[in-house]
Structure 1
Amino acid sequence: MTTTATEPSTANPDSSRPRRVAAKLQRAGTRTAYHWELVKLAALIRVRAMIIGCLIAPPIIVLILRGQRPPADTLYGKLIHLSGFAVPLLLLGFISQWVLPLLTSLVAGDIFASEDQQGTWKTILTRSVSRAQIFRAKTLAALTFAAVAYSALAVSAIASGVLLVGRQPLTGLTGQTITPSTALGLVIAAWAAAFPVLIGFTALSILLSVRTRNPALGVVGPVVLGLAMSLLGSVGGIGLLRRLLLTTPLDAWHGLLTATPFYGPLVQGLAVCAAWTALCLVLAYRSLRNRDLTEG
C-alpha cells in the first residue's frame, strides 16, 4: 500500500503584507493631515471667538431674562423663572432656528473653500497625502469643531440654568412633575438628541464649501437653507416632506418630556440625519475627486 504525503501549503504568508502596509500608511497620512487641520483651526480667531461665545452667551442670556417677563409664547419660556432646567430647553429651542447651522458652518463652510481662495490645493497635494486623506482629515476636523462648540454651549446652558435659577422640579409637556435628578438627565438627553442635526448641517456645509469654492456661500448657505427648512416645516399639508427635512428632528426631544415617553421621532430623525450626512459627504467627495486642482 502506497502512502501519499500531503504537500504543505505553498501560499506566501506575506502576500497580504503590502496591503497591510498600505493601510497603515493611509491611516498615518490621515492622522497627520487631521492633526495639522486642527492646528490651523486652533490658530483662527473666529474659532476661538466661537468657543468663547458658546461659553459666555448662555449666562448672559439667563441674567437678561431674569429681569424680564418670561416669554410665554415659546416652549418652556413661561417656566424659566420656576425651574433652572427649563432654561436650557428654552435655549435649545432658540438655537434651532439659525444658530445651529451657523455654529458649524463657520468652519465647515470654509474648510475646503479657503484652499481655493488661497490657491493652496497644489501645495497640499505635494505633501504625500491623497485627496481622500485630505477629505477625511478636513471632514474630521470640521466635525471635531462642531462637537466641541456644541458641547461647550450645552454645558454652559445647563450650568447657567442650574446655578442662576436653581434645581427646582421641572414640569413636563403633559403637566407631570419631574424631579431634579430626572430632569437633569432628560435635559442632557434633549441636547444630545439634537446633535445628529448638527452633524447633518456640518456635512451640508462641507458640500457647499467643496461645490461653490466660495467661503461666504459655504458659511451663509447652510444658515439660509436651515431657515428655509424651518419655514417649510411649519407649513401644513406636507407631512411626508416635513419628515425628510433636516430641521424636523430638532423637535424630536419633545417626546422625552411627556409622562409616557415616545421615541419614534428620535429614531426617524436619526435616520434622516444619517441620510443627509451620507449623501452630502458622498457628493462632496466625488466633486473633490473629479476636480482639476493642478491650478491651485
Structure 2
Amino acid sequence: MSLAETTADTADATRSTAATPFPRRRGAFGRLLRSELGLTLGRRRNQLLLALLTAVPVLLGIVLAIVSDSAYAGQGPGFIDRVAGNGLFLVVTSLFLCTPFLLPLVTSIAAGDAIAGEAGAGTLRYLLTVPVRRGTLLAAKALAVMAFMLVAVALVTAAALLAGGLLFGFDDLSLLSGQEIPLMDGVLRMLGVAGYVAMSLTGLVAVGLFFSTLAEVPVGVMAATVVVAIVSTVLDSLPQLSAIHPFLLTHHWFDFAEFLRFEVSWSLLGQGLVVQAAWVAIFGSLAWARFTTADITS
C-alpha cells in the first residue's frame, strides 16, 4: 500500500471516529426515550388510571343526560347547564371537573414513579450504568411524564367529544358572551381548552420530578406533589394574599374559560403559560442539580 493510500485511510478513519459520538448520542437518547415512554405508558397501574379518566366524561354525560329534565338542571357553572343543548360543552365540563384533582393526581403518580419509584425498586443504580449523562436521563424521564400527562388530557377530551356527540349532539357553539360561532370553530375552541389545560400542568410535572429526586418512596412523592397543588389552590382563595396570586401554580388553571368568550384574552392566557414556564424552569433546574450530583446507591 502506498504512502498516499495509507494517509487517506487514516484521514477517513479519523473523520469517522470524530463523527461517531454525535449519532451515537442521538441514537442513545432516542432509545432511552422510547424505553421510558414504554415503561410509563405500559405500567398496568398507569393504564388503569387512564381508563378511569376516560370513563369520567362518559359517566358525567350520562348523569347530565338523566338530570337534564329534573330539578337539578341549571345548577353549577354556566357551561355545565349548556351541555344538554350542545355536546361540545361536555369537553369543558369534564376538564373543569378533572383539573382540580384527578389530572394533578395522575400527573403526580407518573412523576413520583419516574425516579423515586426506580430508586425504591433498586433499578435506578443499574439504569445509571447506561452510557448517557444523568441530565439526559432526567430529560427522557421528564418527557415521558409529560407525554403521559398529554395522553391523559387527550383521552378525557376525546371521550368527552364522543360521549357529547352521542348523548346530546353537536351544534353551533353558543359562547358565554351570547354570540354563536360555527361548529368547526367550536371544535377548535375545545381543542384550545384541552391544550391550555395540558400546558397548565407542566409546572406540576417539574415539581413532581424534583420531589422524585429527593426520595425513594414514590407514594410520598405523589402525596407531596398533590399537596403543592392543594396548598396553591388554598392560598389562591385568600384575598389577603392577592399580591402573590398571579405567581401561584394553580392561579391560571381555569383561564381556559377564555376560549368560551367571543374575544379571547390571549394576554391572560399568555400570563398563565409564562407562570408555568417559570415553575418549570425553577423546579426543573432544582431537579437537574439534585439528580446530577446525588450519590445513587440503590
Aligned equivalent of 1:157, options 156, 160, 163:
160
After superposition, give the CA deviation of every residue in 1:205-264 in whole Å (9 maximum; x if it has no partner).
Answer: 111111233201221222222122122222224344111112122222222222332211
Residue 27 (structure 1) aligned with residue 13 (structure 2): no
Aligned equivalent of 1:128, options 128, 131, 139:
131
Q: Give the Å deviation of 1:16.
A: 8.9
TM-score normalised according to structure 2 size: 0.86
Aligned equivalent of 2:83, options 65, 80, 95:
80
After superposition, give the CA deviation of every residue in 1:130-171 in whole Å (9 maximum; x if it has no partner).
Answer: 312321221121112112222111111122212211113333
Q: Please list, as runs of the form range in 1=range in 2, the aligned pairs for 1:250-289 lying within 5 A after superposition.
A: 250-289=253-292
Secondary structure of 1:212 counterpart: coil
Residue number in structure 1 paired with 2:177? 174
AA partner of residue 229 (structure 1):
S
Residue 227 (structure 1) aligned with residue 227 (structure 2): no
Q: Give the Å deviation of 1:33.
A: 1.8
Q: Give the Å deviation of 1:99.
A: 1.4
TM-score normalised according to structure 1 size: 0.87
Is the alpha carbon distance of 1:23 and 1:85 closer, same or farther for their aligned partners in structure 2, counting shifts above 3 Å? Answer: same
Write 1 or 2 for the structure with the bigger share of helix. 2
Q: Give the Å deviation of 1:94.
A: 1.2
Q: Give the Å deviation of 1:125.
A: 2.0
Residue number in structure 2 paired with 1:41? 40
Residue number in structure 1 paired with 2:214? 211
> Residue 232 of structure 2 contacts residue 249 of structure 2 at CA under 8 Å; is this kept in 1?
yes
AA partner of residue 225 (structure 1):
V
Gaps of at least 5 residues in structure 1 are 1-11
Residue 202 (structure 1) aligned with residue 208 (structure 2): no
Residue number in structure 2 paired with 1:5? none
After superposition, give the CA deviation of every residue in 1:148-199 in whole Å (9 maximum; x if it has no partner).
Answer: 2221111111222122111133332222233323222211111111111122
Q: Aligned pairs, how many?
A: 284
- Residues of 1 paired with 2:270 and 2:19: CA distance? 37
AA partner of residue 44 (structure 1):
R
Q: Give the Å deviation of 1:19.
A: 6.5
- Residues of 1 paired with 2:207 and 2:176: CA distance? 32
- Residues of 1 paired with 2:124 and 2:53: CA distance? 32
Question: Quick check: 51-60 or 92-101, which moved more?
Answer: 51-60
AA partner of residue 175 (structure 2):
G
Gaps of at least 5 residues in structure 2 are 1-10
Secondary structure of 1:112 counterpart: helix
Cα-Cα RMSD:
2.3
